[in-house]
Amino acid sequence: MAYTQKKRVIFRFPKIDSSTWANFLNEVGRQGVRTTRDAVSKFNWSTKDAQKHIKASIQYSISQNRVIISSNHPASPYLNRGVKPHVMWYLVQGKDRSKPIPMSVGGQTFFRYATPWALSHGRWKHPGISPRSYLKEGRKKIVSTVIPRVTKQMFGI
């Protein structure tokens, strides 16, 4: 049931029909989404709402006999990979250039404006975000636990 490639033993599935294979991929996808959502819970988030929206955006698709776990949340790439500290020049570019930016301190809300002068003098610096890597963590768990568990359930191997 196994063959070697570069001195490594790689598992080879027995011959199965296409509907069984589709069921296997769907089950790996469903459990993979659940596992990845659990990985999201391990990180600290600014609010529970943020965590809830990221979890809800995680989905799976099947393409060319592969299960693809992804997130369609607009902030997902930035949260997953992280953001380096930077000056926020984008606050004074484009049509929203004079838009007030709400800030809240101690429960009090006030508005500030970003100006080119303030940016050039070191204000409006984004502190950066450390990478959360929840998709990577989910992928590791899928490979180490989900695939073997589903394989055992469906094929008894």
User: How many Å apart are CA 11 and CA 17, to the nearest integer?
Assistant: 18
Q: What is the pTM of this model?
A: 0.69
User: How many Å apart are CA 101 and CA 72, to the nearest integer?
Assistant: 26
DSSP 18-48: HHHHHHHHHHHHHHHHHHHHHHHHTS--S-H
Q: Where are the domains of the chain?
A: 13-81+131-157, 84-128
User: How many Å apart are CA 60 and CA 62, to the nearest integer?
Assistant: 7
Q: Is the pLDDT of residue 119 over 90?
A: no
5, 11 Cβ separation under 8 angstroms = no
Predicted local distance difference test score (pLDDT) of residue 152: 83
> Percent of the chain at pLDDT above 70?
87
How many CB atoms are located within 10 Å of the residue 126 CB?
Answer: 13
User: How many Å apart are CA 99 and CA 111, to the nearest integer?
Assistant: 10
Q: Is the pLDDT of residue 68 over 60?
A: yes
Confidence of residue 2 (pLDDT cuts 50, 70, 90): very low
Confidence of residue 95 (pLDDT cuts 50, 70, 90): low
Predicted local distance difference test score (pLDDT) of residue 43: 82
> Percent of the chain at pLDDT above 90?
12
